Amino acid sequence: METIHKRLQTHTLMIAEDDPSTLKWLVRVLSIYFKEVRGASDAMEALELFNLSPSDIILADIQMPEVDGLSFLQKIATLSPQTLRIVMTAFNSHPYLNRAVEAGVHFYLKKPIDIDELLVAIASNLPNTNLNESITDLGENFTYNTDTKMIYQNKQAIKLTKKEVLLLELFLKNRDSVLSLNQIERTIWEEPATPDAIRMVIVGLRKKLYPTFITNLKGLGYRINLS
């Protein structure tokens, strides 16, 4: 995380959030990591602040009075295409996700916001960052960043457990091979593990990706399917 923090400390951030307590909390916490953090209680105030002094990154709630977060970020895109645009949402329905794509946001995060997830996602999406050199295409619009240890689906961050990270990286290192339960156990577990415990991690990783990513070859083991 030290590399990520150094990267973020050179950038400015604006937060548009109509809930006063959430806005105060985000400004206070994120001020630790960024060069400057400004808060606005609605889109119009945020736009005025941006016109006075543009920010490198904008984090906006999807629901705000008068002008919603996506309309606001669309306006920012016309004024400053290079500004990193992020939307916070409590919704996960297709109409909202489609609108996020149409608005040209770089990625969206579900509320409640996980600060570490937010920091990693911002650092991964900043232009000219070394983190992007370690991205692996997993297919089906999924990617894996070996530095941040996170999966992204259409730029939305998906957190992995420690075991899932180790398993995924083991598969990627042996992408053309079939791995037995014994091989997986010896590599990932410091102590003996039951076959059921190993299968639980495999199932958990598969659920966070897609069903055909990991194939079970009966009597042999598991392998991943990458084109």
Distance CA 39, CA 4 (A): 22
Q: What is the pLDDT of residues 15-66, one digit of tens each?
A: 999 999 999 999 999 999 999 999 999 999 999 999 998 999 999 998 888 8
Banded model confidence at residue 100, pLDDT cuts 50, 70, 90: low
DSSP label of 39 = E
In angstroms, the Cα distances linking 24 to 11, 20, 54, 125, 195 are 19, 6, 20, 25, 47
Strands in 172-227 per DSSP E:
214-217, 221-224
Output the pTM of the full model.
0.55
What fold, for 2-131? Rossmann fold (3.40.50)
189-213: pLDDT as tens digits: 988 999 999 999 999 999 999 999 9
* pLDDT on residue 130: 45
* C-alpha–C-alpha distance, residues 50 and 95, integer Å: 28
Highest CATH level, class, for 167-224: mainly alpha
Residue 116 confidence (pLDDT) above 80: yes
DSSP 8-state code for residue 35: S
Between vectors from CA 97 to CA 91 and to CA 101, what angle results, nearest 5°? 145
Domains of the chain: which residue ranges?
2-131, 167-224
